Structure formats: C-alpha cells, structure tokens
Amino acid sequence: MYCIYTDKEITLEEANSEHIIPLSLGGVNGFEVLVSSSFNSDVGSSIDGEMANCFFIMFKRRDHDARGHSRKAPIPIAKKSTIQGLGTPVQISFAKDKVKVFSPILRKELTNEEMLDQSFILTVPLKPDARARFSAKVALSSGYFIYGDIFRDNAKISDLHTLINFDRASSTKDKDFYGFETKGWYWPKEVTGKDKSEHHVYEYIAQYLNCSFVLVIPTTSSIIFVIGILGDLVGILNCPAKTELLPNNGDYDLGHAIILQNKSIRRMSYRKLLQEIYENL
C-alpha cells in the first residue's frame, strides 16, 4: 500500500483513512485517502488544525456550521484583545446572533452598559504558511485521489512534499527549496499582472459554489490545483507535470472538479462546471 504524503509503501496496519479536506472545513466522507497513521496524527493534523482554527476561516465555518469530529459549534474568538486606552485584556467572540466580550480579570461577560462607549483592539494570529501547506496537502492527495499512480509517477510531487513539511522557524530556504519549480498563490498574497483575470475566475467559482472544492486543471506542462474552503478561495498551486497520459475527455474535459456540497461529493469536468456557471449568470 502506498502513502502519497510520505512517498513510501506502508502496510495495512500502518495506515488509516484521512479526509483530504477535513469535516471541520467542509469535507465529506468518501473524499479520503489511505495514509501513514503517523503522518496523519503528526503533520496532517497540525496542517488541518491550523486551517480549521484560523480566525478568518472560523467565520466561514460559523456561517456554514462546519463542525469537526467534536461536533462543537465553531465560533470565531479574538482571545488577545484589549480595551483601547485602558489596555485591559478581553476575549471577543463572534457568534451568529451576538458579539460577546469576556473579561478574564472579572471572570464574566461584560454587559452592554459596561461596553458602552468603549473601543476594542483585536489581536489575532496570522500564520503566513498555513494556507500554503494546507493547499499543498490537498493538491497532493487530490491528484492521487483522481489520477492514482499516473499522478504519482508524472507530477513533481517532491515540490508538494517540500511545502507540506516547510517550517519557517527551522528552514534553510536555499537548501529546502533547491530545484523547487511549483508556483502558487495563497491569501493574503497579492495577485498582479496577467494572473489577475484568471484569479478573478477562480474567485467567482468559489463564490458561486459557496462550499469546499478542488479544481484540478492540467496544462501542457503542469497541473493547476485550485482549492476552496466553504466558499473562500484559499490557494492555487501550479505543479510541473507530464500531462500527456492524463485523461482529458468526459468527466476530465479541460480538467476535473470535486465539489463537496450537502455532505456529498459532486464530480464533473471543469468544462461542465464552467458551462453550469455560465447558464446561471
């Protein structure tokens, strides 16, 4: 048995099933790959966890009620906030129906009267590599999920491994990224030049679908992976690949779309998806 994340053969006892996009981010049962259980518990869980707990993604999770295995309702919380001018620490939570301010000093939720005329400073963590690592993980497993060994043998999956295992604190970029060819975008990176028009198309698709999805679009010399989470475009990777052996008709015409909607998987060609969107303009 093969594990795409470690690029090694593993035994059945060493394997378990992993959601390519976790349930907490709009994933569904069936969109899964068998992976090394050690990878799944260590690297995989940290990558998925960083994305699921991202302050900005939490708003999407809240609005879609996207719950993980714990079944806990997702609520964005700015834990390291303060009352402006006073510097008093507070935690601000953004439930659908109400914004709540909790004072760890008073050990209680502030009343409307206590918050009257107060201004608050929100401090939220932003991990710059979380979306890049997550996009690489989803791209790697999606490519294998769709194409199997053809993808494994013909795409430059070593680039995706490099991104997945990247640790800014300990990395030596010149060494870790030697020979790296994959290009990409992830929020909040600015899109410039000729890429803008194509990027607008992907953003529109994300808004139209309003769910989690993966687009896999082969070119003559690469595969483009477009990853969306709960209607939010989170990453695009253009990975070098020999694509002449990939299927390119029927459900693979222009590419392949995997759409995770209403707790089920919808699969179609990229051409059919574009036609569907055009007909609903």
| Domain end point (choices 102, 121, 140) | 121
245 and 117 belong to one structural domain? no
* Predicted local confidence at residue 172, as pLDDT: 59
Q: Is 189 helix (H, G, I), strand (E, B) or coil?
A: coil
Per-residue pLDDT of the chain (281 residues; tens, 9 = 90+): 898 988 888 888 888 899 999 999 999 999 999 998 888 777 777 899 999 999 999 999 999 999 988 888 999 999 999 999 889 999 999 999 899 999 999 999 999 998 888 999 998 888 878 999 999 999 999 999 999 999 999 999 999 999 998 877 665 556 678 889 999 998 778 888 888 999 999 999 999 999 999 999 999 999 999 999 999 999 999 999 999 999 999 999 999 999 999 999 999 999 999 999 999 98
Enclosing domain of residue 155: 128-279
Is-contact 162 263, C-beta < 8 A?
no
Distances (CA, A) of 26 to 132, 157, 172: 18, 25, 34
- Range 213-216 contact pairs with CB under 8 angstroms and sequence separation of 24 or more: 213/257, 213/258, 213/259, 213/260, 214/20, 214/21, 214/138, 214/139, 214/142, 214/257, 214/258, 215/255, 215/256, 215/257, 215/258, 215/270, 215/273, 216/142, 216/143, 216/146, 216/255, 216/256, 216/257, 216/258
* Domain boundary, last residue among 97, 121, 145: 121
The tally of domains found in the chain comes to 2
Are 241 and 223 in contact by the 8 Å Cβ rule? The answer is yes
Q: Which residues contact 76 (CB under 8 A, 6 or more apart)?
A: 55, 58, 59, 62, 93, 94
Give the residue carrying structure tokens 């069936």: 30
Give me 156's structure tokens: 């430059």
pLDDT at 187: 78
95, two tokens: 């439930």
Residues 195 and 176: their CA atoms lie apart, in Å, by 26
Do residues 265 and 149 share a domain? yes
Does 153 lie in the same domain as 246? yes
The reply to whether 244 falls in a domain is yes
Mean pLDDT taken over the chain: 92
Report pLDDT digits (tens) over 11-54: 888 888 999 999 999 999 999 999 988 887 777 778 999 999 99
Question: How far, in Å, CA of 97 to CA of 241, rounded?
Answer: 48
Please check whether residue 37 lies inside any domain of the structure.
no
Per residue in 80-96, pLDDT (tens digit) is 999 998 899 999 999 99
**pTM, 2 dp:** 0.93
Domain boundary pick from 121, 140, 171: 121
Q: How far apart are CA 61 and CA 193, in angstroms?
A: 32
Q: What is the pLDDT of residue 170?
A: 66
Q: Tally Cβ neighbours within 10 Å of residue 65.
A: 9
Whether residues 139 and 257 share a domain: the answer is yes
**Are 176 and 110 in the same domain?**
no
* Side chain identity, residue 149: D
Q: Are residues 259 and 135 in the same domain?
A: yes
